[in-house]
Amino acid sequence: MSLLEVEGLDVRHGLLQAVRAVDLELEEGETLALVGANGAGKTTLLRAIAGAHRPAAGRVLLEGADVTTAPAYRRVRLGISLVPEGRRLFAGLTVEENLLVGGGGGRKGPWNLDAVYRLFPALRELSRRRARVLSGGEQQMCAIGRALMANPRLLLLDEVSLGLAPFVVQALYETIASIGREGATVVLVEQDVARALGTATRVACMLEGRIVLEGNAAAVSRDQIVAAYFGLRRGAAA
């Protein structure tokens, strides 16, 4: 049984249909890179999986249990954590307070303050600093740490590299790879195709709200991704 199943998902923003009849499966321990141009529907799909946006049709299942109508807080308790685009930290709280908010659901698992500080040693030194004064890279570390504090089975990462310096992005991706090696299941939204393919075990490309290419990352060529990204053709890889 797959950890995550998305069946025929439609998601709208008013009259605009942002996600169209999306089917997706993810096995436990996989890292899926979800790529596509701006406006392709990637963020909306992640928000629908996390419970932040109610779909118009279709289902979201976590290990076979239908969570389509479950509110976001309940999905967190079931093991789905989202790192949203733009980090969305509590600006007036300290780093440590933000992390503790992430662990407020009481879900048991390996992630606690010490574990997050081992993963991101810089956060220990910044623990008493307000989130509003952190750099972009520091905020992203805190946002990922906050999501891990919920001890997720499924970690959703939305545009973690956006607006960050290249050396910061490299460090963050090394951390994401280590999280994946430890057995976490990850969905990673990214516009940097090369970096996404270097981290993921599977890749899916979205265009105009649909998944137009999906397969094992090692079996999908850059040319296939580029063609799907710009809508030149549609296809699938094994």
Domain ranges of the chain: 28-48+71-229
184, 92, 191, 196: which is closest to 147 by C-alpha? 184
CA distance 224 to 35: 12
Q: What is the pLDDT of residue 233?
A: 55
Helix (H) or strand (E) holding 113, with range, is helix 113-119
CA distance 189 to 55: 19
Token pair, residue 69, equals 């109508």
Give the pLDDT of the chain (238 residues) as one tens digit per residue.
799 999 999 999 999 999 999 999 999 999 999 999 889 999 999 999 999 999 999 999 999 999 999 999 999 999 999 999 888 899 999 999 999 999 988 789 999 999 999 999 999 999 999 999 999 999 999 999 999 999 999 999 998 888 788 888 888 888 888 888 877 899 999 877 888 888 899 999 999 999 999 999 989 888 898 889 888 754 444 4
Query: Contact at 8 Å (CB) between 9 and 55?
Result: yes
Domain boundaries 28-48+71-229, corresponding CATH code: 3.40.50.300
